[in-house]
Structure 1
Amino acid sequence: MVRLTPAQLWRFVKRFEARVLIGLVLATGALWTFLNLAEEMSEGEIDAVDRRLILMLRNPADPSDPIGSRNVEEAVRDITALGGTALVVVITVVSVLAFLFHKKRIHALVMAGAVLAAWASSDLSKMLYGRPRPDLVPHEAYVYSASFPSGHSTMSTAAFLTLAMLVASLEPRRRSKALAYVLAALVVVGVGFSRVYLGVHWPSDVLGGWCLGALWALVGWIVLRALHAPTRGS
């Protein structure tokens, strides 16, 4: 039986400082929001809002035509690729290797773990809820799985927010930290918007994906803080 001395116990408790407790609250909130959203989706309580929001991004005279020029449509397709499996895998592998090269093993573990957990939970949720894809408008991108939650939104949120958090933990300058988070947020919002614009996801699918991805990014942050990974300016 392992016995902790008072000093060891105090050091353990100090690891779970105020910021970690805040992280736990936020992670719990993300999970709670995801589960409540899934329940409302299953009961059809948000269908009307979903349909209204999708149609807002379409030509009223022709729902098959997204608002904006052809150049806008192509740009949105480029943006949606930022949340695709191939690109997220490449970003994750490169990030993990970079952290390992700089002897940041815990950072590498957190990055890989958050993305893998997001991928597994997204696929499991799709199988569990089995929500059909939007049928109001033609799909402007290839789809092959269930709709809830949005895999692109889940993966991009987990990957880019986790990477921003890890970079910020090593960066001493506040402006650089803020830049990392702003860039990550822009990608996450852009990918989510693109899925609705292209007609391949309901808005609630995207919101669910954001919650699920944010959950794993927050879990990664909590793990990083609890393990006292070497950081600068944090």
Structure 2
Amino acid sequence: MFSRLPRIETAVLAVWIAAAAAVWGFLGIADEMHEGELDAYDRAVISALRVAGDPHKAIGPHWLVESMRDVTALGGITLLVLVMAMSVIALLAYRHRLEALVLTGSVVLAQISSGLFKNFYERVRPTFAVYGDLPTSMSFPSGHSTTATATYFLLAVIVASLDPARPVKVLAFTVAALLALMIGFSRVFLGVHWPSDVIAGWCLGAAWAFAAAVLLRILKARGYSVRRTST
């Protein structure tokens, strides 16, 4: 155990630095947004995804819009709750109680923090919605991007910690990254979020995932077994 301690400490430090960088990135974007310095960038990006002269019509064929609607649902609260519930059940079935607890707590806190920041910054959503009515909540940060990033990246962390095979680790993080990127892009494409909302959501969600990874590392280093059934 002692021979592994430096390696564990290095890993914890690296992940902690990543979490701090994600928090710093979120706060930096929030500050720029609050001062209005991202308005031109946001409008330029979202306008580039619209048909000229028709802000409510996205570029590309109709099937692309339908696909983006399907993709954005992957970051919706309903699907994420189902993903988390099934993951927790699977972890508990294999007696990985620690991972199940950290996953649940981190995803819930990510969702709550997103809502709190929305109410704090009170940014109005863009008026470029491609389909249906605009959500009633505020715009900054993107809740889909925040919670999806926290959920999928933390699941990747858990999978990587339970399976030593490098290809499995690479696959887990690749899938998590692709899901986060696709969900975030879909929110901008469909006109329900500004690009900076999504980037801030990625940062906030990553911060929660990294913080949870640090917590798991620390608890395991102190001898908390994922399979311990009794004291």
1:218 aligned partner: 210
Partners of 2:130 and 2:64 lie apart in 1 by 16
Partners of 2:33 and 2:200 lie apart in 1 by 10
Partners of 2:80 and 2:7 lie apart in 1 by 31
Tell me how far 1:177 sits from its aligned partner: 0.9
Partners of 2:7 and 2:109 lie apart in 1 by 24
Tell me how far 1:138 sits from its aligned partner: 3.3
Kindly provide the amino acid, as one letter, of the partner of residue 120 in structure 2: L
Tell me how far 1:114 sits from its aligned partner: 1.3
- 1:78-111 CA-to-partner distances (Å, cap 9, x unmatched) read 0000000000011111111111110101110111
Partners of 2:225 and 2:57 lie apart in 1 by 51
Partners of 2:28 and 2:124 lie apart in 1 by 19
2:48 aligned partner: 56
- 1:35-72 CA-to-partner distances (Å, cap 9, x unmatched) read 11111111101100000000111112422210111111
1:20–1:170 CA distance, 2 compared to 1 (3 A): same
Tell me how far 1:117 sits from its aligned partner: 1.1
Q: How many residues were matched structurally?
A: 222
| CA RMSD across the alignment | 2.0
Structure 1: which 5+ runs fail to align?
A: 1-9
2:24 aligned partner: 32
Partners of 2:204 and 2:129 lie apart in 1 by 27
Structure 2 counterpart of 1:107, from 96, 99, 102: 99
After the TM superposition, which residues 28-177 of structure 1 pair with which residues of structure 2 at under 5 Å, given as runs? 28-135=20-127, 137-142=128-133, 143-177=135-169
1:156–1:146 CA distance, 2 compared to 1 (3 A): same
Identity of aligned residues (%): 48
Kindly provide the amino acid, as one letter, of the partner of residue 102 in structure 2: V
Partners of 2:130 and 2:206 lie apart in 1 by 26
Q: Note if contact 2:139-2:194 (Cα within 8 Å) is conserved in structure 1.
A: yes
Tell me how far 1:14 sits from its aligned partner: 5.2
Partners of 2:173 and 2:6 lie apart in 1 by 26
Tell me how far 1:176 sits from its aligned partner: 1.0
Q: Note if contact 1:141-1:198 (Cα within 8 Å) is conserved in structure 2.
A: no
Moved over 6 A (4+): none
Structure 2 counterpart of 1:206, from 181, 198, 209: 198
Kindly provide the amino acid, as one letter, of the partner of residue 156 in structure 1: A
1:193 aligned partner: 185
Partners of 1:166 and 1:62 lie apart in 2 by 45
Kindly provide the amino acid, as one letter, of the partner of residue 219 in structure 1: A
Tell me how far 1:113 sits from its aligned partner: 1.4
Structure 2: which 5+ runs fail to align?
A: 227-231
| Residues 1:181 and 2:173 aligned together | yes
TM-score (norm 2): 0.91
Q: Note if contact 2:114-2:141 (Cα within 8 Å) is conserved in structure 1.
A: yes
